[in-house]
Structure 1
Amino acid sequence: MRDYRDVGVEVAGGTLAVRHWPGEPGAGTVLAVHGIASNGLSWAAVAEALDGVEVLAPDLRGRGRSNDVKGESSMAAHADDLLAVLDSFAVDRAVLAGHSMGGFVGCVAARRDPRRYRQLVLVDGGLGFPVPADMDIDQVLHAVIGPAMAKLDMEFPDRAAYHAFWAAHPAFAELTGEVVRAYLDRDLVGEEPHLRSACRAAAIREDAEDELRDPAVFAAIHELRVPARLLWAERGLRDEPVGLYPPAVIETAAPGTVATHFVPGVNHYSIVLAAAGAATVAAHLREAL
């Protein structure tokens, strides 16, 4: 396992928790952004596969160990926080990686501040599909992310119970090992027997409204001024045979300025959490560096 440290970075509203894997001089930096109900340790397997490269993986405001950062949440607010992270670590330019909702954050950040990002690597995210205005955002979230939304209203007597909750998720059936356990543990707050998810429900709802209904967020991937690529998983959020982005969507909706790469044998989660998916993502990040 690589050496790492957890660092606090001051942002508007509080202190952002950042997992930092130091790298070798001159190897470059990857700034990695997680999904809507996740935390920075979703990138741990990728970081392990990027041995020698500096990796910065914040817990976004309202998640993980940043769950008490105050203020509203949006793609623009996260983009501001990313700049604070880069400045805190004295990184002038980084390769920006975003998984799921982190891809939308990445598009907004890279469009707004192209001088700070060498390239953008989107991992099963960043390409928008608006939802009807009359649909309640909680309905949308339950339909799309399912258990990741349900967990917000649940308590767990111990960590084993939380691990078992995710082990029953179809997309997590083959996700085991220390990386996955540490990722799940970082999502827990409270004391036994009253453990609950660290994700702040209001932050998830605010981000979902922004991610799924803001035309400027949808437009960001089409207005990038840095080189970008999109890695899209074969299977979906619940391990469905068709992924979040069906081939027809990639063919018709992905902008020609963004290189697209199909990643077989992985779902929306295992593309970053499983060794094979993480190795593929890391290979693209090394190429971007």
Structure 2
Amino acid sequence: MNEPTEGELSVAGGTLRVLRFGGGPLTAIAAHGITASGMSFRAVARHLPAEWSMYALDLRGRGGSAAVPGPYGIDRHAADVCRAAEEFGHGRPVALTGQSLGAYVALRAAADRPGLFDRLLLVDGGLPLRVPEGADVDTLLDHTLGPAIARLGRTYSDDRAYVEFFRTHPALRADWNEDIEAYVRYDLTGAQGTRRSRAREDAVRQDGRDLLGSADTVSGDLGRLDVPTLLLHAPLGLLGQEPPMLPSELVDHWAGHVPCLETELIEGSNHYTILMGRYAKTVAERLVSPRQMQYENRPRKHPQGPGRGGASFAP
């Protein structure tokens, strides 16, 4: 199930590229990270049972959807995800998953249209990120996303040079595999000598600004969430080391405040390998066989995020 069929989805303003993995009657919709593409779910899809189909979207401004115009932002991507659920669910609720930025998109979609989804799997994202008051958002994006954003403005002599750029990434080099390489090669476009990423930097920055300024909105999404939800989170971050994307105190806080949310730490993983490395099998298993979440009897607290006085959780 790891070689996708490329399809299309009509959305407001254009047509998205959709990668379909598998051909079974059960449907999962997947939303990727901020500079990624639907191909980032290749490893997860390979571990899905035969009765499943995964529709991994290339979000606006990325992959095969690079030409689909903005405005971008979590609301627009969430509307596209809901459109995919309507199109590919054939009138039935579907499973929904998202990683990193895609987790925030999936959360917004599930909060806005809960009837479209029967479960939600968040992968290392989906909790409010607070930044210091007055911080320059673009500088913060450059600092936190590091190599991921730096590559968007560069050209490469050939495919091999681009692959080698990723091979040396500190979060990937120890776990390099064919799924990561397929993801990297799918991202390439341009003539030989000027090969580059298909991800649009303007889309990435607009989404990044939206994400960093949306802590209160994300808190509201969690407060109205009514779909059984599991958050898988990594102990290591975007550079394969501490701090993680989601600090443990942040995860614990929201696990205690959202009745339909359960959490699981995936030991040994980082922000990327949790999805594309040796832990992809766990993600697939959690997606198709969710825990029985008896959240109706869990106490509900007011959904207010911790650290409203200025604690910083970098994306």
The question of a shared fold, defined as TM-score above 0.5 by the shorter chain, is answered with yes
Corresponding position of 2:122? 122
User: Letter of the aligned partner of 1:217 in structure 2?
Assistant: V
Corresponding position of 2:29? 31
- Are the structure 2 counterparts of residues 102 and 2 from structure 1 closer, same or farther at C-alpha, using a change threshold of 3 Å? closer
Corresponding position of 2:275? 272
* 3-state SS, counterpart of residue 16 of structure 1: strand
Distance in 2, Cα, partners of 1:245 & 1:58? 24
CA contact (8 A) 1:103 1:123 kept: yes
Corresponding position of 2:138? 138
* 3-state SS, counterpart of residue 128 of structure 1: coil
CA contact (8 A) 1:228 1:259 kept: yes
Corresponding position of 1:80? 79
96-105 or 195-204, which moves further after superposition? 195-204
CA contact (8 A) 2:20 2:56 kept: yes
Count of paired positions: 286
Distance in 2, Cα, partners of 1:155 & 1:111? 39
Corresponding position of 1:61? 60
CA contact (8 A) 1:137 1:209 kept: yes
* 3-state SS, counterpart of residue 15 of structure 1: strand
In the TM superposition, what whole-angstrom CA distance separates every residue of 1:26-55 from its partner, at most 9, and x where no partner exists? xx2111110111000100000000031110
User: Letter of the aligned partner of 2:191 in structure 1?
Assistant: E
Corresponding position of 1:205? 205
CA contact (8 A) 1:137 1:205 kept: no
User: Letter of the aligned partner of 1:157 in structure 2?
Assistant: S
Distance in 2, Cα, partners of 1:4 & 1:153? 28
Distance in 1, Cα, partners of 2:243 & 2:33? 19
Shift of 1:86: 2.5
Runs of 4+ in 1 over 6 A off after TM superposition: none
* 3-state SS, counterpart of residue 47 of structure 1: helix
User: Letter of the aligned partner of 1:162 in structure 2?
Assistant: Y
In the TM superposition, what whole-angstrom CA distance separates every residue of 1:140-180 from its partner, at most 9, and x where no partner exists? 11121110010111111111111111111110112323211
Corresponding position of 1:284? 286
CA contact (8 A) 1:133 1:213 kept: no
In the TM superposition, what whole-angstrom CA distance separates every residue of 1:2-41 from its partner, at most 9, and x where no partner exists? 453100111112110000023333xx21111101110001
* 3-state SS, counterpart of residue 221 of structure 1: helix
Any stretches of 5+ residues in structure 2 without a counterpart?
292-315
Corresponding position of 1:157? 157
User: Letter of the aligned partner of 2:37 in structure 1?
Assistant: N
Corresponding position of 1:237? 238
- Are the structure 2 counterparts of residues 90 and 107 from structure 1 closer, same or farther at C-alpha, using a change threshold of 3 Å? closer
Distance in 2, Cα, partners of 1:221 & 1:132? 22
70-79 or 84-93, which moves further after superposition? 84-93
219-228 or 100-109, which moves further after superposition? 219-228
Distance in 2, Cα, partners of 1:170 & 1:197? 19
User: In the alignment, is residue 262 of structure 1 matched against residue 262 of structure 2?
Assistant: no
In the TM superposition, what whole-angstrom CA distance separates every residue of 1:191-217 from its partner, at most 9, and x where no partner exists? 111011111111111111221112213
User: Letter of the aligned partner of 2:205 in structure 1?
Assistant: R
Q: TM-score, normalised by structure 1?
A: 0.94
Distance in 2, Cα, partners of 1:4 & 1:182? 11
User: Letter of the aligned partner of 2:279 in structure 1?
Assistant: G
- Are the structure 2 counterparts of residues 283 and 126 from structure 1 closer, same or farther at C-alpha, using a change threshold of 3 Å? same
Shift of 1:134: 2.3
User: Letter of the aligned partner of 1:180 in structure 2?
Assistant: I
Distance in 1, Cα, partners of 2:89 & 2:263? 31
Distance in 2, Cα, partners of 1:288 & 1:29? 14
Identity over aligned residues, as a percent?
A: 36
CA contact (8 A) 1:129 1:218 kept: no
Q: Which protein is bigger by CA-based radius of gyration?
A: 2
Any stretches of 5+ residues in structure 1 without a counterpart?
none
User: Letter of the aligned partner of 1:174 in structure 2?
Assistant: A
